[in-house]
Amino acid sequence: MLKVNQYFDGNVASIGFQTATLPATVGVMKVGEYEFGTSQFETMTVISGAISALLPNQTDWQTFKAHETFTVDANQKFKVKIDEETAYLCTYQDK
Question: C-alpha angle 67/73/75, rounded to 5°?
Answer: 130
Interval 35-65: pLDDT, tens: 999 999 999 999 999 999 999 999 999 999 9
3-state secondary structure of 57: coil
Prediction pTM value: 0.93
Residues 66 and 48: beta-carbon distance below 8 Å: yes
Looking at the DSSP assignment, which residues form a beta bridge with residue 27?
14, 88
Does residue 1 have a pLDDT over 90?
Answer: no
* Residue 46, pLDDT score: 98
CATH topology of domain 3-93: Jelly Rolls (2.60.120)
Looking at the DSSP assignment, which residues form a beta bridge with residue 53?
62, 80
What is the DSSP code string of 62-92?
EEEETT-EEEE-TT-EEEEEESS-EEEEEEE
Provide the mean pLDDT of the chain: 97
Domains of the chain, by residue range, sit at 3-93
